[in-house]
Amino acid sequence: MSKSETSNAHSVATRLAHMGRPWSPDMPFVNPPVVRASTVLFEDVHAMHDPASKYVYGRRGTPTSNALADALTELEGPACAGTVLTPSGLAAISVALLSFLGAGDHVLIPDCAYRPVRELCDSLIPRLGVEVSYYDPTIGAGIAALTRANTKVIYLESPGSLTFEIQDTPAIVAHARAIGAVTIIDNTWATPLMFRALDFGVDVTLMAATKYIVGHSDAMLGTVSANEATWKRLKHTHGAMGMFTGPDDMWLALRGLRTLSVRMRHQEQSALEIARWLQTRPEVAQVLHPGLPQDPGHAIWKRDFNGSAGLFGIILKPSSDEAVAAMLDGLQLFGLGYSWGGYESLAIPCELTGIRTATTWAAEGPLVRLQIGLEDPADLIADLDKGLARLNAAG
């Protein structure tokens, strides 16, 4: 056990300060260095052929990538056999799907999936001879009616990152196990801090580390972690596709991990406070946040999750596009921009046409998604309050 390794008896907040910090007398610094590498030099020809050689070639792993992958494997818990790193969250999704799908297979995708997943599954994936169908994310055990003899993968995203439906992951996993299908979950919203997917029997869990792990909106990165049964296949596919990530980005993710718990707990509390305030506003028809008791996903969220994140949605009462633009354009503290999970607050108007095929989106008013950053929630509420005044003024 090295100086920086800690036992699993410590809480996750404690372990985040210590994981992924291999210590040696030659490298005794608190943080592992950024190693930039393609070529690895061997001592002799024997070492070149020795399968036990720790480093072979830059793309196959460096001290920087190992430190981050090992930390994430620890964070995912004892059911995790290993983690691979990808250049973006979307690359994590494509590596995960391509690891387990081939010609003649069928994959099920939840209707709430991140929009680019649908683009991947409507273009490249069918070109490989894979059948794709979409399902109602709230279907739970009803998934049994949708699987086929060739269903190889059931994909989940819980909650949906635009519409915030919580999935009954254990019910879906139980059926997947019964038919021998692999389950893959996009766990970007919760991270293993709030939902340790592998503990619930999910085979493969992935994150856009671009969001909470990096946490500062300055790098793109994906992670895919697998259980024992799926790890070899995932690692092989990741290697075969030539996936690797820039050393600075991996280092930024390691730095982000150190404050992950503090940031997420703060953002969780602020988001809940703001969500509760929004519930009281006459302009708001519904707040989509599974941490609220009124949310349709609340019971399952409470059963399975350790907490919530700082990203949620609001359905406004029917209002014109111009009124929503007036509300959002004047915000001082919320930036208008995609992505989330950083330290700064963001708002986006959401357009759902064309991205629901298994279900219909019944809301009459527009949907706005809020990412709550590390600002004082009272200041954020004041900013939103003025925004709602602009919404009203614009009719």
Decide whether 138 or 161 has the Cβ nearer to ligand PLP: 161
The reply to whether 249 sits near ligand PLP by the rule CB under 6 A is no
Q: Where are any strands of DSSP class E within 53-146?
A: 82-86, 106-110, 131-135
Which residue in the shown chain puts its C-beta closest to ligand PLP? 89
Q: Shortest approach of ligand PLP to residue 186 CB, angstroms?
A: 5
Element (H, E) at 223: strand 222-226
| 3-state SS, residue 314 | strand
The residue among 264, 309, 314, 324 whose CA lies nearest residue 294 is: 314
The reply to whether 310 sits near ligand PLP by the rule CB under 6 A is no
Active site residue 276: no
Active site residue 135: no
Considering only the stretches 127-135, 206-214, 225-233, 246-254, report the one whose residues sit in contact with ligand PLP under the rule CB under 6 A.
206-214
Find where tokens 């519409």 sit. 163
User: What part of residues 51-90 is at the interface with ligand PLP (CB under 6 A)?
Assistant: 88-90
The angle that helices 63-76 and 247-258 make with each other, rounded to 10 degrees, is 40
Binding residue count for ligand PLP, defined by CB under 6 A: 14
Active site residue 111: no
The binder of ligand PLP chosen from 73, 94, 210, 227 (CB under 6 A): 210
Find where tokens 């290697």 sit. 239
Q: Shortest approach of ligand PLP to residue 313 CB, angstroms?
A: 13
The residue among 395, 350, 390, 393 whose CA lies nearest residue 370 is: 350
Active site residue 114: yes
The separation between CA 236 and the C-alpha centre of its own chain, rounded to angstroms, equals 22
The reply to whether 186 sits near ligand PLP by the rule CB under 6 A is yes
Instruction: Give the 3-state DSSP-derived string for 145-173, with helices as H, strands as E and coil as C.
Output: HCCCCCEEEEEEECCCCCCCCCCCHHHHH
The binder of ligand PLP chosen from 173, 176, 220, 314 (CB under 6 A): 220
Q: Which residues are catalytic?
A: 59, 114, 186, 211
Q: Which residues bind ligand PLP (CB under 6 A)?
A: 88-90, 114, 157, 161, 186, 188, 208, 210-211, 220, 222, 339
